[in-house]
């Protein structure tokens, strides 16, 4: 079983996986001039602030995929304001990249991180990110990582978990729906799906 907790030494691998799956599940490395930027938003704060909810697929000592969770999204956002965004904002000012570039889009998130509304957070206060390198996809490891994280979130008392995907990442959306996530809200090119945690081990019988 390759699933294990993430270690600080996995950080570079996880940043790399984030980039290599960052374009609707495909490699985004051609789109970014700064290869660390995407991981600085979608990986770094989770490893730093919620390390107990970070799990990887061990690939001969390296990481081949990950799931990262935040137990309480509102509290996580406050912790990021205190401990993560200030240094990143200093490193990447708003005008660090030419407008219209992928880097500039992510820097805008660094300066104005979005927070879902109460229609999401009241029922699904936790959130997650999951990415697997291509050679780990399609073999049940995504479900395995999600099930493991959900067991941790449930044990910690969370009533629900959500995630936001690009509306054009149809493969990931189909995966989440298969695992029992339902659409909560869709806008601005993104779709937020949620799953209540009353049914650990939920597995649809068909479809």
Ligand X SMILES: CC(C)(COP(=O)(O)OP(=O)(O)OC[C@H]1O[C@@H](n2cnc3c(N)ncnc32)[C@H](O)[C@@H]1OP(=O)(O)O)[C@@H](O)C(=O)NCCC(=O)NCCS
The Cα–Cα gap between 154 and 78 comes to 22
Our CB check for ligand X shows the closer of 125 and 142 to be 142
Residues 79-98 that bind ligand X (CB under 6 A): none
Q: How many residues bind ligand X (CB under 6 A)?
A: 19
Asked if 133 and 64 count as a contact pair (C-beta separation under 8 A), the reply is yes
Q: Report, in Å, the least distance between residue 189 CB and ligand X.
A: 13
Instruction: Look at strands 126-132 and 160-166 and give their pairing.
Output: parallel
Q: Which two tokens stand for residue 184?
A: 């909560």
13: exposed, middle or buried (Cβ count in 10 Å: 0-12, 13-18, 19+): buried
| Residue recorded with tokens 């490893």 | 47
Q: Which residue's Cβ has the minimum distance to ligand X?
A: 142
Asked if 78 and 85 count as a contact pair (C-beta separation under 8 A), the reply is no
Our CB check for ligand X shows the closer of 34 and 147 to be 147
The Cα–Cα gap between 151 and 155 comes to 6
Give the interface segment with ligand X, choosing from 2-10, 56-64, 89-97, 131-139 (CB under 6 A). Answer: 131-139
Binds ligand X (CB under 6 A): choice among 47, 56, 71, 165: 165
55 lies in the site for ligand X, by CB under 6 A = no
Give the interface segment with ligand X, choosing from 34-42, 102-110, 150-158, 170-178 (CB under 6 A). Answer: 170-178
174 lies in the site for ligand X, by CB under 6 A = yes
Q: Report, in Å, the least distance between residue 198 CB and ligand X.
A: 20
Q: Report, in Å, the least distance between residue 173 CB and ligand X.
A: 8
Instruction: Look at strands 54-59 and 190-196 and give their pairing.
Output: unpaired
132 lies in the site for ligand X, by CB under 6 A = yes
DSSP for 151-184 reads: HHHHHTT-SEEEEEEETT-HHHHHHHHHTT-EEE
DSSP state of 117: -
Q: Binding pattern to ligand X, positions 8-27, x when CB under 6 A?
A: -------------x---x--
71 lies in the site for ligand X, by CB under 6 A = no
Binding interface with ligand X (CB under 6 A): 21, 25, 130-132, 137-143, 165, 169, 171-172, 174-175, 178
């Amino acid at each position: 079983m390759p699933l294990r907790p993430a270690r600080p030494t996995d950080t570079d691998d996880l940043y790399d996986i984030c980039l290599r799956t960052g374009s609707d599940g495909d490699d985004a490395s051609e789109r970014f001039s700064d290869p660390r930027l995407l991981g600085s938003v979608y990986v770094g704060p989770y490893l730093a602030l919620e390390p107990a909810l970070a799990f990887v697929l061990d690939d001969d000592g390296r990481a081949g995929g990950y799931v990262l969770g935040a137990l309480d999204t509102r509290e996580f956002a406050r912790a990021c304001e205190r401990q993560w965004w200030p240094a990143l904002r200093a490193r990447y000012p708003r005008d660090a990249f030419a407008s219209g570039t992928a880097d500039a889009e992510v820097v805008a998130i660094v300066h104005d991180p979005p927070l879902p509304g109460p229609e999401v957070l009241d029922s699904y206060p936790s959130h997650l990110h999951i990415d697997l390198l291509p050679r780990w996809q399609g073999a049940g490891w995504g479900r395995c990582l999600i099930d493991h994280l959900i067991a941790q979130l449930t044990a910690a008392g969370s009533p629900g978990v959500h995630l936001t995907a690009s509306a054009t990442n149809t493969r990931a959306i189909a995966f989440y729906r298969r695992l029992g996530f339902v659409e909560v809200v869709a806008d601005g090119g993104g779709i937020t799906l949620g799953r209540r945690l009353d049914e650990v081990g939920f597995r649809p019988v068909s479809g």
